[in-house]
Chain A
């Protein structure tokens, strides 16, 4: 494999890792606050649809992004209502949200656009277009560094950079602010937080809300940046891979970045199975690369590569003592 192909692969890795990373950080906020969220997939899907639909109608991708975040937030609100207010089962609520999104997006898309459950193709301002970082053109001919900067670092959509910036931001919020400390505490021992006079309900709703915003961006990225429009089931299990990455990263932001890059790289490899075959010398089943994230997660969960310990109060609704 030559240098140019490697850069192409890494470039694809970055593009494919972005939605995973955004969804993974979304899950991180929610689960650190003690709310399991297997509805990441559904929220991404709903956001992908509404962002593409609004972008197609208005021709403005930023309105699309807002609409996508809105769709994701509505589902987040449902999840919060079910799992915080009514102390229901968070896993069941997540399952319901995934199906709600899978069904509603197609039903509404068919009703609005009548194109078999997809939105019209987006182009121009209705999409997030690649942005050229400064000096990319000028540095292009500098050996090694030039192509890396031009091919790999520059020339992505704004959302890719947003996702990457979210990693230090998440770290800072969770580990350097009062809000973050409380948020983590509410996922470990909500009774203690309650005793300290901080509202458990409010904190958890805040975490679920942040989760909704990030999932919304992830979904909008899928439909308006990675691809040009919404198609049925376009999230294609990414929410679950993000969940896997979250476990892989043991609920820590920087490791989430590495895990998502790894899983993004696996996805890039399965797209370019010819390159993989060249490197390893034999034909690798693309299917195998596709499910490798899931297999890796099971191996991690089995505890063969260190133990993944979730936040202690995760999944349990908080009941004040009566």
Chain B
């Protein structure tokens, strides 16, 4: 029996958790001698006050949608994919190879090609931990953590070796002009007024929205999604119903890795237009916070990704104008993970008691 109405579970608990995280973040800002209210105003202004700010916010949000969806689908099958960071790095390798070595005639085809490349590379990187979990029972959390480190080394190896462009920097050559994805600045250019000037948001944002939709259909409208969710609820029951655990683990992790890899279209092809070291910048880990906050629902992930995009861009503005370092965002991210993920019951238990008492009072 559900103790709480659905809206409380979906809206109220995340809201309270975020509120707690926000209060603690404000205390941290107070403790280092800054004004939280002024900081918030600065963040809102910097991230949402101009189309330039929005351009950055949406760019970051695009990254987080992909990594958030990657973690979310794994959560549905009760798998914890911490390897989004590594999968996105390797996805970047895929994008670089596709963009550098295939002469694309037009960006639409290049986008298609790099999306497939990124997804394949990311999925391949998730395949080994998935296989080890399915066949050998080795814990996927440990193996994906290890694969993050190995991915960084692999990328490093290629960027100082085979793929390195001439010069000092460990980076690939600039991608050809034909693979340039239209940025929001290109798309929303109406003669005298240019919106999103200089901001990195690009057409990949719409790919990310499409990915949300795709995942929603996959999880709730297909046979595979049903199998995946039932496996997540009870492995033994799923097995009894004839669902193959190996298949579910493999397919889920391949999709998860593919989604994380596809983040590279945004940051590698869309923004940098070349592959550099540490291109992912922790977005793979933010995916965990995004998925937890979004309750593993694609729409929730979209909202949470927008919030984190705002935090990321706002945090950059803070670091620019105040003495608050950028790492404050990592603190906020940690608090969100802590309250929405690990301390979920701390919020849930008293609320459940409250709702139970209210129901008793009614009857």
Interface residues of A (CB under 8 A from B): 38, 78, 81-83, 86-93, 95-100, 102-104, 106-108, 110-111, 114, 117, 237, 240, 243-244, 247, 285, 287-288, 290-291, 294-295, 297-298, 301-303, 308, 310
Contacts and interface: CB of A to CB of B under 8 A. Distances in A.
Contact of B334 (A88, A99, A288): A99
A117 B327 contact: yes
Contact of A287 (B156, B285, B329): B156
A247 B331 contact: no
Contact of A100 (B138, B331, B344): B331
B247 to A, nearest CB: 20
Interface string B314-331: 000000000111011111
A275 B143 CA distance: 31
B338 A38 contact: no
Interface in B187-246: none
Given A93-B338, A288-B153, A298-B132, A88 B344 contact: yes
A106 B28 CA distance: 12
B78 to A, nearest CB: 10
A103 B315 CA distance: 12
A108 B32 CA distance: 7
A93 B342 contact: yes
A161 B221 CA distance: 60
A86 B328 contact: no
Interface in B115-148: 128, 132, 136, 138-139, 141-143, 145-147
B349 A107 contact: no
Contacts of A310: 139
Contacts of A287: 153, 156-157
Q: How large is the interface on B (under 10, 10 to 19, 20 to 34, 35 or more residues)?
A: 35 or more
Given A91-B80, A103-B332, A111-B33, 9 more contacts: A78-B338, A82-B346, A102-B327, A104-B28, A117-B327, A243-B142, A244-B146, A288-B153, A291-B149
Contacts of B72: none
B353 to A, nearest CB: 14
A95 B288 contact: yes
> What is the interface of chain A mostly: helix, strand, loop, or mixed?
helix
Contact of B343 (A81, A90, A247, A288): A81
Contact of B139 (A104, A301, A303): A301
B288 A240 contact: no
A118 to B, nearest CB: 12
Contacts of B338: 78, 82, 93, 96-97, 100
16 contacts: A38-B145, A82-B343, A86-B349, A87-B345, A89-B342, A91-B82, A96-B338, A97-B334, A100-B334, A103-B333, A111-B32, A117-B325, A288-B153, A294-B147, A294-B150, A301-B142
A259 B362 CA distance: 62
Given A88-B343, A107-B28, A294-B149, A247 B142 contact: yes
A114 to B, nearest CB: 8
A78 B342 CA distance: 10
Contact of B330 (A81, A99, A291): A99
B28 A96 contact: no
B94 to A, nearest CB: 20
Contacts of B349: 86
Contact of A295 (B138, B150, B329, B335): B150
Nearest to B151: A291
Contacts of B330: 99, 102-103, 106
Contacts of A100: 331, 334-335, 338
B341 interface: yes
A310 B338 CA distance: 25
Contacts of A92: 80, 288, 292, 337, 341-342
Contacts of B343: 81-82, 86, 88, 93
